[in-house]
Amino acid sequence: MPAQSLFLLPRESFLSPRIAASPGEASIMARAGRRSTSLLRSFLLASLLSVVFLGGAAVTAAPAGQQSVVLSGVVRDTSGAVVVGARVDALVAGRSIAAITTDGDGRYRLDVPAGVPLAVRASGDRFADENIELSGRHESLTRDIVLRVGGLSDTLVVTASRNAESRTTLLQAVTVTTKADMEALGSTSLADVMRFVPGVNIEATGREGALTSMFARGGESDYNLVLVDGVRVNISGGAFDFSRIAAGEIDRVEVVRGAQSALWGSDAMGSVVQIFTTRAGVGDAPLVSASVEGGSFDTWRGDARLLGGARRRVDYQIGTTHRRTNGAFADLLSEDDRFEQAALDATAGVTLGTRASLRSGVRYSDSNGRSVGPITYGSRDAGGVYDTRDLSWNTSVSHTLGSRFTGTGTVNYFHYDNTTADNILDPPYGTYAILEGTPNALFPRGSRLVRLIGRTEFERLSAAGALPAPGQFLASRVTSETSTFASETKFRRPAIRYQGDYVWGGNQRFSAGYEWEREANPLVDDLSLDNSSVFVQQQFSVRDRWFVAVGGRVDGKETYDTFFSPKLSAGGMIVPFRTGALSSVKLFGNIGKGIRSPTFTERFGGGFADPDPTLNVESARTGDIGVEATFADQHVRALVTYFDNDYTDQIAYRPGPVGDGIPDFLNIDGSDAKGWELEAALQRPFRGITAMATYAYVDTRVVTSVQTSQQFQPGQPLLRRPRHSGTIRAAYARGRVTVNVNVRMVGQRHDNSFLSFRTVPNAERPTAITTDITVNPGYIVASLGLDYRAHDAVTVFLRSDNIGDTEYDSALGYPGLPRAVVVGARLRLSLGR
C-alpha cells in the first residue's frame, strides 16, 4: 500500500492501482468494452458533425455586408452618479466584437451586428462586473447600466449556471479568487487558494506538492468536481489531488458549494471547482508577464507567459510554470523531502464572421516528488516516489442562430498517469506515546496524544505502573521491516458536449444540452465505461430583481446506472442596491441532488476486493439558504448561509476476511452534515485598509447500521472535518507599498493515526487493547507579505509563511510546513502598439 494514500479516506487507498482481473471480472470488463466501442463511434461521429455543421452554418449565416445597429447608454453607480472610465464590451458567441470606455458623462456607444443575440459586459475599477443578455435587434437600442460596488474578487461567475452571471443574480454560495488575490495570499498551489474558501477544509501530507484533499461542507474528498477551462480533471470516482496545479498557472478560481449534479453530473456532490487559465482579449496589446521567487528549503518558483490579441479577431496566450523545493523535514528523513513540477499551458481563440468563434486550449504538467509516511510518529519511508503527469485539452465552437439562440459545442480530453512506489526496505521503528481519553470512544472522547516519548522513558514508566498521571496511559507500536511496493494509475477521458441557450420573454433563459464521455483504464484491457447525459435548465427573472432557476439532468452509465439529478434555486433582492446605511439585502435558497459513480476498483474489484457491479451510485440531497447584505453605501458586505446535507448509499471498504474471505466494497446508509458559513468584507479601502473574514461551523455525523471501521461507526463525526474553522485577510496600501496579513484557524477534529497502538495495562485500565489516536488538535497559522511597486511594470515582494512557526499536523502524523521566507519579483511589461 502506498504510505501516502493512507492519509485520505480509507477507500481512496484503492483508487485505480494496477490489478490482475479474475476470469469473471475480465468477462464483465470485456462486455463493457464491446458496448462502449459502438457507442463511442456513433456519438463521436454525430457530435463532431454537429459541431462542424453549426460552426460552418454560423460563419455562412452572416453575409460580409451585414448591417449594424447602435447600442448606447450611460453607466452609473447605485447613487445615480455616472461612472467615468468604465469598460463596456459587446460579446457575440462569447467573444468581444466591440469595446469602448465611458466618457466624462459616463456614456458609451457601440456598433453591433443587427439581429444577433449578444451580451453587454461592463466593468470599472472597484465595481462588480455587470452582465446583460440582449436578443438580436434590427434597430438602435439605448440601455443604461448600473454598477454595484465590487468586493474582493467580484467578477462574473460562469460555473454556477454554465452562463455568465453578475453578483446580483447569483442564487448560490460562490467564492471567486483572482490572480491578485492569490498574490496577496502568497498562494503556491490550488490547495492554498482553497484554504480560504468558507466551509472548505484542506488536508495534506505537509510539504508543498504532497497529496492534498478537499472536504466541502462535510462531504467526502471525492465529492468535488474539478474543471480546468471546462475540462473535467477528476479521475475515476471523483478523486483529485489539489496540489498538482501551481498558482502560477491560474488566472481565476470559482468555487460553487452544494450539490451541482443537475448541471455538471457525477462527482458534483459537494462543490464544483473551476480553474481558469490566463486569457487575453482580442483588443489587448501584447503583454509579457513573469514572476520569480526563492527562499527557505531551497525553494524556487517561477512562471512566464506571453499573451495578447490581434486584428480584434484573435487572442493568444502561452505560458510555463516551474516550482521546486527540497522539503522542510530533512532532520526527520534520510534524504530530502523534494518536490518539483513543470507545466505548460496555451490557449487561442478566433472570431469566425459575426456569429461564431473558435477556441482551443491545452495544459500539460509533469511533477516528481517524495512519498513519505506519518513522519511525526517515526516513519521515514526512504526511497518513496510520487510522480504525476496529466494532460488536458479542449476545442469549442460557439455560435448564434437567429436573434435569440446561442450554442457551444465542445470536444475535450483528459489524460492522467501516476506512479507511487517505495523501492527501499525501511528498518523497523517504534512509536511510544502517553495518551489520554477513552480508547475507541466517539470523538472528542477518544484517545488523544499527550506527548511522544522515547523507548527508555516508556520502559521506565511501564515498570512504575504505566500510569503517568490520572486519566493517562501508555501505548506503543513497533513496526516490522517495511516491504517495497509500486502502484501505477492510468486514466483517460474523452468527452463531447453541446449546450444551447434560448432567450425569450425579454431576459428569460432556457438552456439544454447533451454530454458524452468515456472513462478508461489503460492498465486493464477493454476496461472502459461510457456515460451519456441530457440536462435542461430554465432561469426566470422578474424585473431584474427576483430570480428562479429550475433544472435537472439524466445520466446513463451503460447498463449499470441511470439517475436523475434535479435542482431548484430561488431568491431576490428584498432591498435593491441603493445608497444608505443599509444598501442592499438579497435572500437565496437552493435544494438539489448530487451523485458520485463508483470507481473502477469499487465496481470491478481487484486482487484485494471482490467485484460488485450492483453497487448503487452514491447520492446527496443538499440544501442551503442565505442572506447577503451590504452596508454603508455597499462599502461593507456580509453573507450568512445555512446548509443541510444528507449523503446516502455511501460506498465503504470493508476490510478483513468476510464471506468468501476477500474484503469487499458495500453501500452503507451514509452520513449527514449541517452548519453555517459567515463572510464579512470591507469592500472599498478605508484609510488604505481592505479586509475579509470568514467562519464556518460544520457538524458531521455518521448515520449507518453497518460499522466498517473504528472511524466510520454510528454517531462518529466524519474524518478530518473540523467543526470550527475561519480565515482573516487584510491589506494596507500606502503609496507604492502594500502589506498583506492572512490568518487561518482550524479547530480540533476527528482523525485517525492508523497506527494500531497497543496499550499498556495499568490500575485504571487493567486490560491491554488496540487503539488509535483519534483527536487532532486545532491550530492557527498566520502569514505576512510586503509588496513594493518599484516601477509600473515591476513589483518586488517579501513573504513569510507560518510566521509564528506553529507546530501542527494537517492530517495526524503529517506535520504542516514550519516558518518559511521567500523573496521575489513580478513583471508585467506591455509591448503596446
Q: Calculate mean pLDDT across residues 390-411.
A: 95
Percent of the chain with pLDDT over 70: 90
Q: What pLDDT band is residue 709 in, cutting at 50, 70 and 90?
A: low
Residues 830, 497: Cα–Cα separation, whole Å: 36
Helix (H) or strand (E) holding 179: helix 179-185
Residue 604, classed as helix, strand or coil, is helix
pLDDT score recorded for residue 120? 94
Whether the per-residue pLDDT at 629 is higher than 50: the answer is yes
Residue 11 has pLDDT above 70, yes or no: no
pLDDT of residue 53: 43
pLDDT beyond 70 at 399: yes
User: Residue 298 carries which DSSP code?
Assistant: G
State residue 427's pLDDT score: 80
> Residue 254 CB: number of other CB atoms within 10 A?
21
In terms of Cα–Cα distance, which of 354, 336, 287, 295 is closest to 316? Answer: 287
Residue 798 parent element (H or E)? strand 794-801
Rounded to two decimals, the pTM is 0.90
Query: Strand 561-575 relative to strand 546-557: parallel, antiparallel, unpaired?
Result: antiparallel
What's residue 66's pLDDT? 60
If one counts every other C-beta atom within 10 angstroms of the C-beta of residue 67, the result is 9
User: Could you name the CATH architecture of 3-39+278-426+483-830?
Assistant: Beta Barrel (2.40)
pLDDT computed for residue 12 by the predictor: 35
What mean pLDDT comes out for the span 240-252? 94
Percentage of residues in the chain having pLDDT higher than 90: 67
Q: What is the H or E stretch that residue 323 is in? A: strand 314-325
Across residues 355-370, what is the average pLDDT?
Answer: 94
Looking at residue 32, what is its pLDDT?
40
Rounding to the nearest 10 degrees, give the CA dihedral for residues 684, 686, 687, 692.
-80
Q: Report the alpha-carbon distance of residue 158 to residue 166 in Å, rounded.
A: 9
| pLDDT band of 656, cuts 50, 70, 90 | low
Asked if residue 18 has pLDDT above 60, the reply is no
When the pLDDT of each residue in the chain is averaged and rounded to a whole number, the result is 87
Amino acid 663: pLDDT: 79
The residues facing 510 across adjacent strands are 502, 538
What pLDDT does residue 371 have? 78
pLDDT (0 to 100) of residue 657: 58
Q: How far apart are CA 686 and CA 91, in angstroms?
A: 35
Helix (H) or strand (E) holding 823: strand 820-830
Q: Is the pLDDT of residue 16 over 50?
A: no
Residue 777 in grid coordinates: 488538535
Q: Which residue has the cell 442564487?
A: 171
SS (H, E, C) 457-486: HHHHHHHCCCCCCCCEEEEEEECCCCCCEE
Contact partners, residue 774, CB within 8 Å, separation at least 6: 443, 446, 447, 448, 710, 711, 750, 751, 752, 753
- Tell me: pLDDT of 255 over 50: yes
Rounded to the nearest 5 degrees, what angle is found at the Cα of 230, between the Cα atoms of 216 and 178? 65
Q: Which three cell numbers stand for residue 41?
A: 463511434
**523 contacts 544 by C-beta, under 8 angstroms:** no
Q: Cell for 503?
A: 432567450
Contact 637, 151 (CB under 8 A): yes
Phi/psi for 297 (5° steps) reads 65, 35
Q: For residues 70 and 139, give the distance between their C-alpha atoms in angstroms, rounded to a whole number.
A: 8
- pLDDT digits 0-9 by tens, 178-215: 999 999 999 999 999 999 999 999 998 878 888 899 99
* Beta strand 95-101 pairing with 87-92: antiparallel
Which of 431, 426, 433, 423 shows the shortest CA–CA distance to 480? 426
Of 610 and 673, the structure prediction assigns the larger pLDDT to: 673
pLDDT at 3 over 50: no
Quote the pLDDT of residue 612.
83
Q: What pLDDT is recorded for position 601?
A: 85
pLDDT at res. 487:
86
Give the mean model confidence (pLDDT) for residues 333-342. 86
Selected residue with higher pLDDT from 583 and 506: 583
**C-alpha cell of residue 573:** 433582492
| For residue 627, pLDDT beyond 50 | yes
pLDDT class for 424, splitting at 50, 70, 90?
A: confident
More confident of the two residues 610 and 309 = 309
**Residue 693 cell numbers, joined:** 473574514
Q: Please write down the HEC assignment for all residues of 383-408.
A: CEEEEEEEEEEEEEEEEEECCCEEEE
User: Which residue is associated with the grid cell 476486493?
Assistant: 609
pLDDT band at 63 (very low <50, low <70, confident <90, very high): very low
- Interval 771-822: pLDDT, tens: 999 999 999 999 999 999 999 999 999 999 999 999 999 999 999 999 999 9
Written as one letter, the residue type at 290 is A
Cα–Cα distance, 365 to 373 (Å, whole number): 25
- Beta strands, E only, 184-267: 200-204, 212-216, 224-228, 231-232, 250-257
Place of cell 473574514: 693
Tell me which DSSP letter residue 718 carries.
Answer: P
If you count DSSP H runs as helices and E runs as strands, how many of each does the chain have, helices first? 6, 46
Question: How large is the average pLDDT for residues 607-635?
Answer: 90
pLDDT grade, residue 21 (50/70/90)? very low
Q: Rounded CA gap, 306 and 27, in Å?
A: 51
